[in-house]
Amino acid sequence: MDIQERLAKNLRLLRQAKGWSQEVFADEAGLHRTYISDLERGSRNPTISVVDKLAIALGVTPGRLLD
């Protein structure tokens, strides 16, 4: 599994563990819902700043998203 696939899988698992829809997650992270969808499908490469926003919204470290 490459890093993009790991990020996609971890985003989906952590979002679902919080009981959030993609729309709620996007609002929490300050991003658009379709961008979250693209990330969870592994079709986007986020910048490190976006990874940080995602991690803050989920309450984890950026590294946790890439484990």
Per-residue pLDDT tens for 4-61? 999 999 999 999 999 999 999 999 999 999 999 999 999 999 999 999 999 999 999 9
pLDDT value, residue 5: 96
The answer, yes or no, to whether residue 63 has pLDDT greater than 90, is: yes
> In b/e form, how buried is each residue of 52-62, taking b as 16+ CB within 10 angstroms?
ebbbebbeeee
Nearest to 65 by CA among 45, 51, 53: 51
How many whole angstroms separate alpha carbon 52 and alpha carbon 29? 9
Residue 61 amino acid letter: T
Burial of 3-12, coded b for 16+ CB within 10 Å and e otherwise, reads ebeebbebbb
